[in-house]
């Protein structure tokens, strides 16, 4: 089993010693996720992650079945530090959030819509802080790559990860707050994907509000994520 997270690491994590530089303009991942609630499709997230010489850009658009639309764009340095993060809601009303470095920490600016006062919120968090907006599942894939780079290795017999869970401090811009996320390797499991049985690596992802099981295929791409109690399931199309 081969793992390519050494290439991904240079895009998102300051672990260049184990990373080989990818060609400029390389698409790291692109596609869409179907979002299901109790078996019914409620939204689609379309995304693309591109590496460029000056860093990387991850773009995502979430469209709900009722027409509600949100977009995000995350720009990172080659070491994984935040250059700029932007979130906007187009429907049902326009709102915007941006996050940029300010001195040693991060600054968030909120525009709640027409006729609303724009204001800023400081976050005493380093520039390397992962973004984990709760509206975009692509952010969870990027966070999983950080976990793989920090605590997992590829062996001939399969993936080996540290037995101790890893904890990450993340920023959730749409909620204007920070929280802690814990990830640990669960097991290798076979799941049904597009009518086929696929063996994946399964991980537990625990936030302060919910628990998830994340499934990555042998290309380290997130193919499924399941909320343990919410009835929410996200599947790669």
Exposure string of 107-119, with b = 16+ CB inside 10 Å and e = fewer, is: ebebeeeeeeeee
Which residues does residue 82 pair with via DSSP β-bridges, in sequence order?
76
| Nearest-angstrom CA–CA distance, 142 and 185 | 16
| Nearest-angstrom CA–CA distance, 73 and 147 | 21
Question: What pLDDT, in 10s, does the model give residues 87-140?
Answer: 999 888 899 999 999 999 999 999 987 778 899 999 999 999 999 998 899 999
Q: Which domains does the chain have, with CATH numbers?
A: 5-66+132-236 (2.40.360)
Q: What is the DSSP letter of 131?
A: B
Q: Where are the beta strands (DSSP E) in the chain?
A: 26-37, 40-52, 55-64, 69-76, 82-91, 95-102, 105-111, 119-123, 152-155, 158-161, 166-172, 177-193, 196-206, 211-216, 222-227, 232-236
What does the angle CA 129 – CA 135 – CA 138 come to, to the nearest 5 degrees? 65
The confidence score (pLDDT) of residue 157 equals: 67
Question: What mean pLDDT, rounded, does the chain reach?
Answer: 87
pTM value > 0.75: yes
Work out the pLDDT band at 7, boundaries 50, 70, 90: very low
Residue with token string 């600054």? 107
Question: What pLDDT, in 10s, does the model give residues 134-174?
Answer: 889 999 999 999 999 988 887 776 678 887 899 999 999 99
Question: What pLDDT, in 10s, does the model give residues 190-207?
Answer: 999 888 999 999 999 999
Which residues does residue 154 pair with via DSSP β-bridges, in sequence order?
159
* C-alpha radius of gyration, the chain, whole number: 18
């Amino acid at each position: 089993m081969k793992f390519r997270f050494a290439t991904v690491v240079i895009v998102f994590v300051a672990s260049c010693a184990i990373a080989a530089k990818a060609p400029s303009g390389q698409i790291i991942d692109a596609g869409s996720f179907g979002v299901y609630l109790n078996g019914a499709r409620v939204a689609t997230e379309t995304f693309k992650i591109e590496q460029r010489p000056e860093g990387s850009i991850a773009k995502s658009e979430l469209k709900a079945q009722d027409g509600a639309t949100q977009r995000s764009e995350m720009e990172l340095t080659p070491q994984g530090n935040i250059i700029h993060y932007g979130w906007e809601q187009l429907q049902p009303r326009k709102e915007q959030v941006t996050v940029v470095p300010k001195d040693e920490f991060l600054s968030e600016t909120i525009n709640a819509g027409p006729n609303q006062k724009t204001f800023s919120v400081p976050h005493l968090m380093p520039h390397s802080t992962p973004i984990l907006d709760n509206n975009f599942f692509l952010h969870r894939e990027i966070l999983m790559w950080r976990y793989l780079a920090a605590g997992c290795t590829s062996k001939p017999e399969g993936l080996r990860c540290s037995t101790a869970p890893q904890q990450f401090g993340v920023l959730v811009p749409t909620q204007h707050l920070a929280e802690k996320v814990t990830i640990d390797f669960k097991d290798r499991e076979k799941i049904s994907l597009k009518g086929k049985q696929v063996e994946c690596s399964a991980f537990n992802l625990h936030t302060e509000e919910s628990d998830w099981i994340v499934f990555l295929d042998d290309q380290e791409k997130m193919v499924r994520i399941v909320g343990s109690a919410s009835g929410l399931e996200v599947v790669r199309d």
